[in-house]
Amino acid sequence: MHFKKNEVLIAFLFVLFTLTLSAQEKTSDFDKIKAKAAAENKNILLIFQGSDWCAPCMKLEKEIWNSDEFKLYAADHWVVYKADFPRKKQNQPDSEQITFNKHLAEKYNPKGFFPFVAMLDKNGKVLGETGYKKLSPGEYLEHLESISKK
């Protein structure tokens, strides 16, 4: 195969651009989360979950976090961060993300409850906490809103 210089350059730039986007999406610094919340004047919804072993976590993921109603509302009202603690090796994030999630857990979920949801103000102060509740997406949103108003 013969590649022209332009084809190689375009492929290289595409890979570089893709890696840059991936790096931007992965947040490994809580100061960045707080800065985003402050810039957007939003509270932080911090979710602790075990995505591949915790049945109530999987239920919240499927019925609440993945619902269109939640996604639309949350995008306008909160900065959402999921600190995931999967057990299966193939689901493990990189070591930097694991360390970051453990740091958040030490500060905001020291008892290690799963699922655990903390509503924080834009400075990282806890406004309220909750966990699994058998509610519709709309009802869960109302529940979270009541916590964010404290």
pLDDT per position as a tens digit, 39-81: 999 999 999 999 999 999 999 999 999 999 999 999 999 999 9
- The burial class, CB within 10 Å (0-12 / 13-18 / 19+), for 83 is buried
Q: What per-residue confidence (pLDDT) applies to 149?
A: 83
Q: What per-residue confidence (pLDDT) applies to 11?
A: 52
> pLDDT of 23-38, one tens digit each?
334 445 899 999 999 9
Structure tokens at 136: 């519709």
Spatial neighbors of 109 by CB under 8 A, at least 6 apart, are 48, 83, 116, 118
Q: Which of 108, 99, 105, 104 is nearest to 128 (CA)?
A: 108
Residue with tokens 């976090």: 65
Among 6-15, 58-67, 68-77, 125-134, the minimum mean pLDDT is found in: 6-15
Q: What per-residue confidence (pLDDT) applies to 29?
A: 83
Q: How many residues does the chain have?
A: 150
> pLDDT of 72-85, one tens digit each?
999 999 999 999 99
Question: Whole-number mean pLDDT of the chain?
Answer: 87
Which carries the bigger pLDDT value, residue 67 or residue 14? Answer: 67
